[in-house]
Structure 1
């Protein structure tokens, strides 16, 4: 909404812009009163630009004949509240629904008045497109084994984390392989440490026969189950408690995890988590206390022909997950990588649909990836936002590991749990303006793989 405000003691109006997101726990009823939560950005020219505004919305068009807004924001170190309502009138339905007069308060004292209007010409279509009904989860545990006995499948549980005390990156990879020739399935994996002041260290475990557990991965003295990661392999040992701190994040379309129609699918049971416990290798023992990281799942036929992956914990701002891949099918190997990018920022996930970055609209507007080493990039635009991600994996911080797909074809991944990443998020406000910038120095988790 756009408008103006006159602050007490001033002889001129200031332009105002409100960009708000409303979320209600139930569908509004036209004859009742529905409360909702407001989050968003308030800008008052020459005075305030607060992207963390929060408040409440009361939707009561018939029962009370009003839609009331109460929004709190910070300016010059003080807390203010914008309080206003649209008085719904059947004689003026359009004006009464689009004009919001309000009063500005500081500690209960009025300090200004103004009016904002909803611009129908430019915002009606985005407003209507923004309506979403809450999703119903199907209740399927995201850590339970998915493999149903079909040959030629692979299933992965992996965890990455960064020890904030030492800057060491950690990687635990647990994998089930069901060979394409019908041979018995087996479990294997590895653990790796990426210290700041020394070379990358790793060890492997398995292969060992697969015995389907009820939850997670178990094999060769190693387990990755809800809330706990533990194991001993070579000179490595670890005992970590996992505490999820965010909701699941589907990097690929949500349906692709429930119905394995794509060559592979990836999901994060918790987009972010914290890890507490010990991780020891050779003569080093790390004591983790709330180390940031995440655990993810992969299920499919094997690895892509070429791929790149990034997990970037953005702290309180959220998380960014990227998978870019080229199919192994002969006719598709010459195509550019399909990009799946999911940014959870300020409680919202962008783009709204995971397919958007990979296929665009009828093939137009796909995100692009330039995959290589030591650096690779992803760029794209969806709606009013665009993003550019630059990832660097220095050779001394990168571990190359070889392994095989279920059909026996070899693959090599080059992983760094101490990668660098620069992320630029922009929004269109008549011209492209910076919305957020993140720079991760040695705390990004990234990988480039191929044949």
Structure 2
């Protein structure tokens, strides 16, 4: 088993006197510490610090960064070094808690510090850890993840082993930051329920900001075995590479994964395909470089953002909605809301699977929480009408509201055929709009984060 790391959150409150001022100002630090090892008292552990620094009337920097040295026994101190911006100036906060058995509580909660600008003193103050209000959130924030290098390639290998009545999908969606153009590459293997020969097919679609959506299909053709991805009729999906052609559309892209895999459905459903389908991202986000040609136009991509995803199951849902939203700063929102065609399940409202990666954490902690709630209560809800659809729900002390808009002129309708021969239609937009509001309960609902995406959300609604 690989070694674990440590992640925790800490809030510090206090005062500061800046050089040149004759009074103190309130200060608040909201920090996240990430270490590559489990924090233990008998050794020195260094952690990466990120977070927000607020000085009343002078500074509010949500991108502060630095280092935390945790050495309670080896050096008898916990040292904080943090760089932040104050009115265009870069300041460094340097201070440490001096630990002593004579004053265990005070020495663990009081942080004297100094501020420096280019090595020169710029102020000083004292911060305190408020035990009464922050001890429980601090203890509850501890996580011990397994540090690992993402290997999305292992999730590209085909799952289908020849059984009838299955469908398997590799798809990629991305946005060119220079032009706002969206791209959708879809690759699919369908094994009919009647036992006839499986076939491979797919399509490519381009969503320019200032023109009509362009798309073209390839296949169907016989399935070609590929141990590391998808291969059919010159179209290829392999670790780090996407290439092929469909009618007048051709593409050659390099994919650079960033982030760990994301299982939109419960992780076990990908290993054991007992559900009608399972969905996951080999990497939470990717960057793309290369070219996409459509007609007489060429789109040159340089560090475009998006992601690839995988689906394995028995066919399409009765009705479904999907969203992939790159929120910036490594934050990602992935949603699949679907009503199954299976008897009994087809009477339920759409089940929502929502995964929000925000501030280095995934919420909710369990993928099935948003779909089943607690014994059926507290499920997230989805209203899948077009051109605007919405998902809302609450888990723990947070609640979320997601509103997606797919303008008709930026939405492409395509038909699917399931293994049993039934048909479905999806309406997809790789240049959709989205508004996401995240709130947290602190005696009342208070805003925690808000994102507004204009033309960079990837979304679709499907139905029969």
> Is TM > 0.5 for Structure 1 vs Structure 2?
yes
**Is 1:185 matched up with 2:195?**
no
Out of 222, 235, 241, the position equivalent to 1:222 is 235
**Is 1:21 matched up with 2:32?**
yes
- Residue equivalent to 1:403: 416
Deviations along 1:85-141, one digit per CA (max 9) or x if unpaired, are 222232333333233232333333333333333233333332222222223669670
**Is 1:240 matched up with 2:253?**
yes
Contact 1:403 1:411 in 2 (8 A): yes
Deviations along 1:41-75, one digit per CA (max 9) or x if unpaired, are 12222222211111111111222222222222111
| Counterpart secondary structure, 1:96 | helix
TM-score normalised over the length of structure 1: 0.91
**CA distance, structure 2, for counterparts of residue 275 and residue 6 of structure 1:** 45
- Residue equivalent to 2:357: 344
Deviations along 1:186-219, one digit per CA (max 9) or x if unpaired, are 2111122223343323222222221320111101
Contact 2:36 2:147 in 1 (8 A): no
- Residue equivalent to 1:38: 49
1:378-393 matches, within 5 Å, as 378-393=391-406
Unmatched segments (≥5 aa) in structure 2: 1-10
- Residue equivalent to 2:224: 211
Q: CA RMSD in A?
A: 2.5
**CA distance, structure 2, for counterparts of residue 29 and residue 317 of structure 1:** 28
| Counterpart secondary structure, 2:136 | helix
> Which deviates more, 430-439 or 15-24?
430-439
**CA distance, structure 2, for counterparts of residue 330 and residue 357 of structure 1:** 21
Deviation at 1:375, TM superposition (A): 0.3
Out of 332, 350, 357, the position equivalent to 2:370 is 357
| Counterpart secondary structure, 2:369 | helix
Deviations along 1:7-42, one digit per CA (max 9) or x if unpaired, are 144444322222111111111232111111111112
- Residue equivalent to 2:16: 6
Deviation at 1:346, TM superposition (A): 4.5
Q: CA 1:167 to 1:14, structure 2 compared with 1: closer, same or farther past 3 Å?
A: closer
Contact 2:16 2:126 in 1 (8 A): no
> Which deviates more, 104-113 or 60-69?
104-113
Deviation at 1:421, TM superposition (A): 1.5
Deviations along 1:344-402, one digit per CA (max 9) or x if unpaired, are 34444333443333334554543332211010112234455443221111122211112
Contact 1:419 1:443 in 2 (8 A): yes
Contact 1:415 1:448 in 2 (8 A): yes
> Which deviates more, 140-149 or 355-364?
355-364
Unmatched segments (≥5 aa) in structure 1: none
Out of 123, 130, 138, the position equivalent to 1:119 is 130
1:48-447 matches, within 5 Å, as 48-135=59-146, 141-316=154-329, 318-427=331-440, 432-447=445-460
**CA distance, structure 2, for counterparts of residue 136 and residue 352 of structure 1:** 18
Contact 1:180 1:407 in 2 (8 A): yes
| Counterpart secondary structure, 2:107 | helix
